Structure 1
Amino acid sequence: MDFQDCVLTCEKQFHCGICKRGFSRNSDLTRHMRIHTSEKPFKCDICEQGFSQSGNLTRHMKIHTGEKPFKCDVCKRSFSRNGDLTRHMRIHTTHIKIHIGENPFKCDICDRRFSRNHDLTRHMRIHTGEKPFKCDICEQGFSQSGNLITHMKIHTGEKPFKCDVCKLSFSRNGDLTRHMKIHTTHIKIHIAENPFKCDICDRLFSRNHDLTRHMRIHTGEKSFKCDIYKQGFITNGDITTPMSIHTDE
């Protein structure tokens, strides 16, 4: 066997027994097999998260150390991973294209222009009505993959968006945003109608007089005294009842 034949036949002599993919080195095959076995031998000492490759663990550790070696030359923002910097740079490139009018991808129907062909492709579905992303459960179609992902939460029951006020959960962030208006409106009503607030328990009152009376609960002050037994009471109403006992006598 000459050198050329060896290159063709020996270049990928290590093959995966599951998917038949070939590798030139046994170490590459070993690493590849973790995809099938889900083995994650590289563990984070801090949070115990596992990784299939040592490089992924190295990048992960930057989250804990706060190291951000990848810096944007435009806005000086830093990132822990190069991939995050690459995605971030698209903000600047797209923004610049908008300012210089560089939108080479044009819709033939409505003449709208786009800076990326991908955006034009997605836009065209508005005109064509194409919905290539199908739900495997109910077969409903969607024009964008993100809409399908949101839709699937209806079937799975997943509700990752939780209200911090009443703990009610929602499958979509938009539903949570609309729900929060209930609390903000409700709070505004209470603040408008009850402007006098207790600094200790945050209870609201419509009149300053009611707040003054309420504060005696916290201070223990008993301004109203029984003339017969000298017993103290927080409110005038409290003293009225025992006084009736004395008058009946």
Structure 2
Amino acid sequence: MKIKAVQTGCKIFGEGVADIVHRGEMSQKVRKVKCDTSFSRISNLKTHMRTHTGEKSFSCKECDKGFSEKSNLETHVRIHKGEKPFPCNKCDKRFSRRSSLKRHMRTHTGEKPFSCKECKKGFNYLSDLKRHMRTHTGEKPFSCKECKKGFNYLSDLKRHMRIHTGEKPFSCKDCDTSFRRVASLKLHMRTHTGEKPFSCKECRKSFNQLSHLKTHMRTHTGEKPFSCKECKKSFSQISHLKTHMRTHTGEKPFPCKECKKSFSHISHLNVHMRTHTGEKCYTCKECDKSFCNKSLFRIHIRIHADDRRFSCKECKKSFRYRSCLEQHMRTHTGEKPFSCKDCDKSFNQLSTLKRHRRAHTGEKPFSCKECDKSFSRISGLKTHMRTHTGENSENLLKNAKLYEL
């Protein structure tokens, strides 16, 4: 005798299921669920019904996690056993689930079956697409309880929380330095291994970070994407722009502990410290004169070589320093990039603007040690000093002008 298969529907919104399937009462919440899924076997329907009732009849003996299907429990148990029966034939990686292997294979085939409707970007996994969609919707479902900052991803929130807890779970085995992120540890490890995986195609120079390579590439392309809003000068690195901005703000965040003098650059502080230690690292072979500053040493060397490598194309005048040539060129172009915010007067040199600003601020940084009288310019102080010393005024003014330059 042939038995005719009868398609059985879910009674929540279907027809023709045996009463035995829905024995007992279901919650109001379950009754409202729309399903319409049909099955050829009553056993499959029974299994399916657990998705509505939330029943989890199969429990893991290792961790007590519950499952609605026996097959799901069997798959889960492999995590505890370490069993990975599904190998990848491309890279020898193994997986505990067939579905995980299928997803992994997309990394080899390049298949990206899940596309964003907004920007057409493709993804290997549906979960990645869902996370990506938050960049369009602005949804940030994960919030920090400490500072209320929102995040697109749970992993980002977990990393952020380490800022509050101070946790640094990733430690370097070579020097015991700890990091909040595993990516930071990986970057750090290259300082020990010497690995530089990012190479410049132009000059073959190598770098241990991709960001460093990108910054280096601007030396070849000439790109300067970071511009100063005050004087429109451009820079290839954001750090250089930040340092430059101190010339406008007057910020000097690096103080000397010996004399309380402050500097806008850490390198300037380091050089200054040698005036206290007496260290002079650079000695001229021609005259044995020593310098604590490398740039001053290079400037001195050019005196012996009479090196005037920077020439003006307009008038053929030569200069030892590029900065002097750049300043000189403004006499031809008429450029005055340094403007006073108070009176809109412009200047071709930053030092001239700084002196001019004292007329507005009333600052008088040059004080007479004899009578405590102050002056806005060093030349004014020098001229005044002759009232105490009786020095010839002509020589005094000449020295003052040289000092200001």
Q: If the TM-score is normalised by the length of the shorter chain, which range does it land in?
A: 0.3 to 0.5
Normalised by the size of structure 1, how large is the TM-score?
A: 0.48
Structure with max Cα Rg? 2
Higher relative contact order (Cα pairs below 8 Å, separated by 6+ residues): 1
Q: Which has the higher helix share?
A: 1
